[in-house]
């Protein structure tokens, strides 16, 4: 909406008239939506909050912005990111685009991550997310010792600085076998608890995985922590830690929320239906990272990839499992691209995962579904009484919305349009060793 934010009324009360809203994003979805799940409404904003939601054409005698059927979404929720390692690509590219290449490149670069380096790259990432319309973001934080002693205090400071603009949640990230070290296990649990974070690890098939998972779940339960795992990010059908997590959760009766991300190998396992049933029974929440997985999975030299690298989102959702999609990495060795733009994530997810025909239910995957999983059901919905934190698009239909980047969108926070200036990559040149 290039002509947009200057036209948003500055009045205390006003109407966003003739808007198109995905019905699934309304707090109380009506039954009168069209075949794509879209509904025409007028939204009354008062004192920075949504005061009324009426069928389009209401006769309120208030200042109006006629959106001419343009879409209105709530601000986005990005529940799986890595803003502590974002934007290091210029100084540490992935030599071959593979998962192993990414691991090696990040490990080499991490040796130079002091507090200033991490803070500036985090802030750059958050400026991008905010400008694109994200209001709630969860980031994984590399927590291999001694990095956790640097990055977690930086995260806590960033969370305080960005409160009210982008609400932040942090998750530890370490290899599951690191939890075998009792001293480290105590230290990382205490660190995460002290910084009010979430306990997370990368799981893979190690001897005694079931035992380690149960021990980790017991430690998290004792500390009152939720869990968020990187799971089976591979095309190897022998990677079955997703099922192990489900079994451990059922065996321990873990009381908190368990998020499982990636789960790529599920798509190449013959008994995937049985695993999906156990995931549903255990109450796990799934997040797919389609852009990063498409980039990394099934790379083999000059050979064309044979699969898309993503998990079974339709089959999981059909079993009532909450399924979200998120950004994952941005401009680092795990993904050379990305800008924490959740509309881009949704657009590419629709194409990669076939979230269409109909699309109707899937806008929730970048809004209300991850918000509920992250314990913030107040986010990601358009509801009477909720803050008028909204994203306005000129696009009127899904085919218009997803055909273009929507760079002219308008983002409202508490009913006021923000200045959507994206940070310049030149701001990081000194961290990267100079201009490219």
Active site positions, annotated: 233
**Six token digits for residue 366:** 């970048």
DSSP strand E in 263-407: where? Answer: 285-288, 323-325, 390-392
Q: Taking each helix axis from N to C terminus, what angle separates 209-223 and 182-194, rounded to the nearest 10 degrees?
A: 40
**Six token digits for residue 392:** 């306005």
């Amino acid at each position: 909406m290039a002509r947009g934010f200057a036209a948003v009324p500055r009045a205390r009360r006003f109407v966003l008239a003739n808007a198109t809203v995905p019905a699934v994003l309304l707090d109380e979805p009506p039954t009168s939506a069209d075949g794509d799940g879209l509904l025409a409404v007028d939204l009354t904003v008062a004192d920075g909050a949504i005061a009324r939601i009426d069928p389009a054409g209401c006769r309120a005698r208030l200042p109006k912005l006629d959106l001419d059927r343009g879409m209105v979404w709530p601000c986005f929720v990005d529940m799986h990111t890595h803003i502590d390692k974002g934007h290091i690509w210029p100084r540490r590219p992935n030599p071959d685009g593979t998962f192993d290449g990414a691991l090696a490149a990040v490990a080499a670069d991490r040796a130079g991550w002091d507090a200033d380096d991490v803070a500036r790259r985090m802030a750059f990432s958050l400026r991008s997310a905010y400008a694109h319309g994200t209001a709630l973001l969860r980031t994984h934080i590399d927590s291999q010792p001694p990095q956790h002693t640097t990055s977690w205090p930086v995260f806590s400071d960033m969370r305080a600085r960005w409160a009210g603009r982008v609400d932040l949640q942090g998750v530890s990230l370490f290899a599951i076998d690191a939890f075998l070290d009792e001293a480290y296990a105590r230290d990382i649990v205490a660190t995460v608890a002290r910084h009010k974070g979430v306990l997370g690890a990368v799981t893979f098939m190690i001897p005694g995985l079931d035992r380690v998972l149960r021990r980790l779940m017991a430690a998290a339960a004792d500390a009152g922590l939720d869990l968020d795992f990187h799971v089976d990010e591979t095309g190897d059908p022998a990677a079955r830690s997703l099922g192990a997590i489900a079994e451990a959760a059922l065996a321990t009766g873990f009381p908190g929320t368990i998020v499982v991300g990636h789960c790529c190998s599920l798509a190449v396992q013959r008994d995937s239906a049985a695993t999906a049933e156990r995931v549903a029974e255990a109450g796990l929440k799934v997040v797919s990272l389609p852009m990063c997985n498409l980039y990394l999975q099934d790379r083999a030299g000059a050979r064309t990839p044979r699969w898309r690298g993503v998990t079974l989102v339709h089959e999981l959702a059909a079993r009532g499992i909450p399924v979200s999609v998120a950004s994952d990495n941005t401009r680092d060795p795990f993904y050379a691209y990305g800008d924490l733009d959740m509309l881009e994530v949704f657009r590419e997810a629709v194409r990669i995962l076939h979230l269409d025909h109909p699309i109707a239910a899937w806008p929730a995957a970048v809004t209300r579904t991850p918000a509920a999983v992250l314990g913030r059901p107040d986010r990601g919905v358009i509801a009477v009484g909720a803050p008028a934190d909204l994203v306005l698009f000129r696009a009127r239909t899904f085919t218009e919305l997803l055909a273009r980047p929507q760079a002219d969108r308008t983002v409202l926070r508490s009913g006021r349009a923000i200045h959507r200036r994206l940070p310049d990559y030149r701001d990081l040149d000194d961290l990267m060793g100079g201009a490219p």
